[in-house]
Structure 1
């Protein structure tokens, strides 16, 4: 499970050190791909297999589903963490997410997300008040 907020740096070779708390779940390999709001999604191989199964259930006659699958899956990069827990973030994904040296990695339950720190700070500032003042059930049965 991926939880919390971490601030690793992107090195000159395009590698990021995964938070130590995430490494056990990602020891068998990492799957990176494009996420919403211009972040990157980080899945374990097992969890990504579950995501693929869900994508396979989408209707082939839905243009929106086909377009989503193409964009989501064409960005997939399978990576192996090295002994220091670093993974390479391919240039195409770094460009998509606007990643520079300063990164914010957040846990989102079954996945982690990699954000450029300025993008995360902007997103957080924009959404914080709405989150704090939510007065309706967003996720059924949670509260």
Structure 2
């Protein structure tokens, strides 16, 4: 039996394994760039979280996952495997955010511009992080995603 490549998120201080981020949710940004997080994702963000530009979207990382990524990049920079500019770019382009009492985060203008986020957005789980997409860009990927999901299930089930 092969090893499962997915490592589930472990919440610090919770003492257990937390299921990955999954699901797709249609949401809206208000005029101030505030986004109400899907209720099922909120428990993962009791402290700081991090937004960063990602492949055509904005990624939202838990503090633990973001810190793990930064530590790995620091090790790669020290070993000469990664250009220091990668780490510099990640730090310069990312933003720390926190959920407000209404379960919202503010997506800064620079990140909204990067991903062309307007009023209608899609918030989707990406296993270890959350992605925030322009709804039209998300719809344009629907066929590709369906094929990718079919391939993932084929590989994961051993068929």
> TM range, normalised to the smaller chain?
0.7 to 0.9
1:95 and 2:116 correspond: no
Bigger relative contact order (CA 8 A; separation at least 6): 1
The answer to whether the Cα contact below 8 Å between 1:104 and 1:114 also exists between their aligned partners in 2 is: yes
Deviation at 1:55, TM superposition (A): 1.1
Cα deviation 1:17-67 (Å, max 9, x = unaligned):
01101101011122100112x1111011121111111111223645x6434
The answer to whether the Cα contact below 8 Å between 1:30 and 1:45 also exists between their aligned partners in 2 is: yes
1:33 and 2:64 correspond: no
Secondary structure of 2:44's counterpart equals helix
Q: 1:136 to 1:20 in 2, by over 3 A?
A: closer
Aligned residue number for residue 81 of structure 1: 99
- Report the RMSD for the aligned CA atoms in angstroms: 2.2
Between structure 1 and structure 2, the one with the greater Rg is 2
Q: 1:133 to 1:3 in 2, by over 3 A?
A: closer
5+ residue gaps in structure 1? none
Pick aligned residue for 1:2 from 21, 45, 49: 21
Cα deviation 1:51-96 (Å, max 9, x = unaligned):
111111223645x643433333221110111111100000000000
Secondary structure of 1:78's counterpart equals strand
Pick aligned residue for 1:112 from 102, 117, 130: 130
Q: 1:52 to 1:134 in 2, by over 3 A?
A: closer
5+ residue gaps in structure 2? 1-19
Deviation at 1:8, TM superposition (A): 1.1
The answer to whether the Cα contact below 8 Å between 1:23 and 1:85 also exists between their aligned partners in 2 is: yes
The answer to whether the Cα contact below 8 Å between 2:22 and 2:126 also exists between their aligned partners in 1 is: yes
Aligned residue number for residue 59 of structure 1: 77
